[in-house]
Amino acid sequence: MTTYPNEEVLVSALQSHKAADFSLIYDSYSPALYGVLLRLLKDTARAEDLLQDAFVKIWTNSQHYSPSQGRLFTWLMAITRNLAMDELRARKVRATAAAYIGEHEVTATNLRLAEGMLNRSLLSQLAPKYQAVVELMYYRNYTSQEAADDLKLPIGTVKTRARKALQELKHYFNQDIQHYHTEYRGLKSA
């Protein structure tokens, strides 16, 4: 049976800020902290990563621990638990972002502007005269002159339509970003 040093020895090891002493803290507390991470995250690899992150944070913040404020284990647990909670919140945000992107994603098979097949795309909100210019210049890599020749329009008109289309798309993207920020804030406060 392994015996662990008492708390005074471990606090002294933390405050010495020596690597050899710090390994004593790691050996004493890593199994318990890993168990907490594993129960919260239910992911072995991520729990191992966060355990290392926790001990890096403990090492860099060791001067902030004060025995008068509580037990060393409680302080170590708070740091470890906070990292786990940050990870769980980040997972929730990533899941929401993935769902949002999935709803607004435009795949190559949907990009048939000439056929009017842009389902759920911001481009489908553009007027047809702007869609045609965007398709030629940005999806088929036409130059302004080539697009003008293909559409039988003056080059100035093509450039104006391209600029106007990009301005409208910027407006739509900003609306989507605002929507995402609203959703994100809702998750963060939950």
pLDDT digits (tens, 9 = 90+) for 56-72: 999 898 888 888 888 99
Structural domain that includes position 173: 106-189
Q: What is the pLDDT of residues 88-144, one digit of tens each?
A: 998 888 887 777 666 655 443 344 443 444 333 667 788 889 988 988 888 788 888
What residues contact residue 83 under an 8 Å CB cut-off, 6+ apart? 37, 50, 53, 54, 57
65 and 139 housed in the same domain = no
- Does residue 92 lie within any of the structural domains? yes
Q: From CA 53, how far away is CA 57, in angstroms rounded?
A: 6
14 & 98 share domain? yes
Number of domains in the chain: 2
Model pTM? 0.52
**Same domain? 84 vs 111:** no
Q: Are both 98 and 116 inside the same structural domain?
A: no
Q: Are residues 128 and 83 in the same domain?
A: no
Judge if 153 and 178 occupy the same domain.
yes
Residue 166 included in any domain: yes
Residues 88 and 119 in one domain: no
